[in-house]
Amino acid sequence: MNRFVFASAFATGLLSVAWVGWGFVGSSWAALLMTAVIAGVYLLGAQEIRRFRQATQALQTALEGLDRAPAELSVWLQQLPQTLRHAVRLRVEGERTPLPGLALTPYLVGLLVMLGMLGTFLGMVITFKGAVFALEGSTDLQAIRSALAAPIKGLGLSFGTSVAGVAASAMLGLLSALSRRERLQVSRLLDSQVAGVLRPFSLSHQREQAYQALQDQSQALPVVAERLQTLMVQLEQRSERLNEQLLDRQAQFHQQAGVAYTDLAASVGRSLQDSLSAGARAAGESIQPVVQAAMAEIAQQAGQLHQRLGEVAQGQAEGLSAQFSATVGQVAAHWQQALQQQAQTGARLMQDLEQSLNAFTTGFEQRSLGLVDGVQEALRQSRGEQALADQQRLQAWTQGLDGMTQALQAEWRHLGAEQLARQQAVCTALETSAAALDERQAQQASRLRGDLDQLVARFEQLAAARLEAEAQAQAEQVAADRQRLEAWGQALGSVAQSLQGEWQRVGEQALAQQQALSQTLEQTAAAIGERSAEQAARTRADLAQLVARFEQLAQ
């Protein structure tokens, strides 16, 4: 549905511009050029909106394809357009960052209207320039009418650029609104996915997991300490058992060594007695000191060996006990230090979180206050500038009306004096010529009154349209606009009344003077009629300029 509406709006805007441009082909190259510029700006805005919608659709497709959390956020972000990756990453991580919007389209919407108005103004300038040239370059009534026909047609065509600009601006604004609505819907889908499937990648979820890990670790620390205490008790018990076993084995070794040495001495003695019984008797006195010395040395070596074994066993037991004590102390110190560091880390983390929250709250309040102050100041400045501009326009309008009224009065006086001088020079005038001249002047007066009525009606239409637009845009300035419109109506009424009174007065004077004449030449009467028609045409041109100025001031 959105695709059909988008295509229909784009086609409507493009066809409107093309239709207006086709009307300018062969008639006005300036309006055709301005219409082409409007079409180019419209296509530029449509191209930006198309890329904007493609990025939105790519993001929507990627979000709808998420049925479970991706393995890595960076891999999933590669599916998105380059313009959305950073903003989506920040949104997933928990930052309230808006998605990128349209950059040129809001400016192009206003530019299209300005281009249409510019084309209209250029067409009016060219039209009025041609009208002035036609009025100044010829005195024939038929030639003047023929010369004014083309500029008046061109005046109608010049407003076509405004139609093209407004239509293109409206359609481009509609396309922009539809695109922003799609982006808003996708943003809501992104928020729902961030709160669901993509929550593991958010900073808040990671902080919660870190806090949960800290809690689990703090709960596990007493169990670890208890297990370490049990391990220390087991190590002490094992060291005691090892010490007792070592002492028992050393005692057994000493006992076995004593028995072995005793048996060895007994066997040696018996063998010596058995083998050398005969020789022992003979050499008993000489061998006995040697045997006694050997036995003493053996006993001494056995005692030294027993003492060294005792010292070695005692040193090993003391070394093992010292190592176990040092190991237990180091383990306890390391765990105590780890507990202190963990507690300090948790405290610093809580303090950093509190400081971050305080700083964010303070900065948010300051930015909010600054934004409110800036908006209020901008509104006050805008209202002041609008009031000053309205006052200046009203003053300029009043001055222009006064100057134009004076110029018209002077022109009418000059015309009356010239007609009076010419009529006084005429001796006789035909009665039929006087009647024809009277009828022609009456027709011209009726046409002038019709032009004035059309001017008043057109101004009332413009005033009504202006009031409606201002009522929709700025409800606060309704009273001021009504006052200005009433002043403008009164000024126009006074101008119309002064023009009608002046025309009636001059007509009455001319009629009285013409009735007093007896006879005049037909050529003189025709010249007077042409002069009156020329003056009426000039008056209508002045009124057309006045209408143009009113329209410019109303816009």
For the residues of 461-503, what is the DSSP string, one character each? HHHHHHHHHHHHH-GGGHHHHHHHHHHHHHHHHHHHHHHHHHH
Q: What is the pLDDT of residue 459?
A: 47
Residue 485 pLDDT > 80, yes or no?
A: no
Residue 405 pLDDT > 60, yes or no?
A: no
Q: Give 242-268 pLDDT, tens digit per residue.
A: 888 888 887 787 787 677 767 766 776
Residue owning tokens 């383990």: 331
Worst-scoring range by mean pLDDT, 101-110, 134-143, 401-410? 401-410
Q: Give 434-455 pLDDT, tens digit per residue.
A: 455 556 555 654 565 565 456 5
Q: What is the pLDDT of residue 19?
A: 87
Q: Measure Cα distances from 460 to 399, 457, 489 in Å.
A: 21, 5, 8
Residue owning tokens 């610093």: 348
What integer is the mean pLDDT of 523-540? 61
Dist CA 292 CA 278 (whole Å): 19
Q: What is the pLDDT of residue 44?
A: 92
User: In the structure encoding, which two tokens stand for residue 325, read together?
Assistant: 């004590």
Residue 237 pLDDT > 80, yes or no?
A: yes
Give 529 or 272, the one with higher predicted confidence.
272
Give 264 or 469, the one with higher predicted confidence.
264
Q: What is the pLDDT of residue 41?
A: 92
Say how many C-beta atoms besides its own lie within 10 A of residue 95's C-beta.
Answer: 11
Residue 427 pLDDT > 80, yes or no?
A: no
Burial class (CB in 10 A: 0-12, 13-18, 19+), 134: buried
Could you say which DSSP state residue 139 is in? -
Task: Count the helix, strand and coil residues of the chain and give each as a percent rounded to the nearest 5.
Answer: 90, 0, 10
Contact 22, 51 (CB under 8 A): no
What integer is the mean pLDDT of 107-126? 81
User: In the structure encoding, which two tokens stand for residue 259, read together?
Assistant: 């028995």
Worst-scoring range by mean pLDDT, 137-151, 374-388, 503-517? 503-517
Write the CB contacts of 416 (distance below 8 Å, at least 6 apart in sequence): 506, 509, 510
Q: Give 361-392 pLDDT, tens digit per residue.
A: 565 456 545 654 654 565 567 566 665 765 67
Q: What is the pLDDT of residue 253?
A: 77
What mean pLDDT is reported for the chain? Answer: 67
Q: What is the pLDDT of residue 372?
A: 46
What integer is the mean pLDDT of 267-272? 67
Q: How confident is the model at residue 120 (pLDDT cuts 50, 70, 90)?
A: confident
Query: 3-state class of 105 per DSSP?
Result: helix
Q: What is the pLDDT of residue 43?
A: 92
Q: How confident is the model at residue 549 (pLDDT cuts 50, 70, 90)?
A: low
Write the CB contacts of 346 (distance below 8 Å, at least 6 apart in sequence): 214, 218
Question: Could you tell me the residue ranges of all domains in the chain?
Answer: 1-201, 426-555
Q: Give 307-364 pLDDT, tens digit per residue.
A: 665 565 556 546 555 654 565 456 456 555 655 665 565 456 556 645 654 554 565 4
Could you say which DSSP state residue 199 is in? G
Q: At what angle do helices 105-137 and 522-554 cross, to 10 degrees?
A: 170
Say how many C-beta atoms besides its own lie within 10 A of residue 68's C-beta.
Answer: 6
Burial class (CB in 10 A: 0-12, 13-18, 19+), 279: exposed
Write the CB contacts of 440 (distance below 8 Å, at least 6 apart in sequence): 529, 532, 533
Q: Give 185-206 pLDDT, tens digit per residue.
A: 888 888 787 777 776 676 666 6
Highest mean pLDDT among 49-53, 342-346, 482-486: 49-53
Residue owning tokens 């055709």: 32
Q: What is the pLDDT of residue 40?
A: 92
Worst-scoring range by mean pLDDT, 23-27, 127-131, 489-493? 489-493
What integer is the mean pLDDT of 475-499? 58
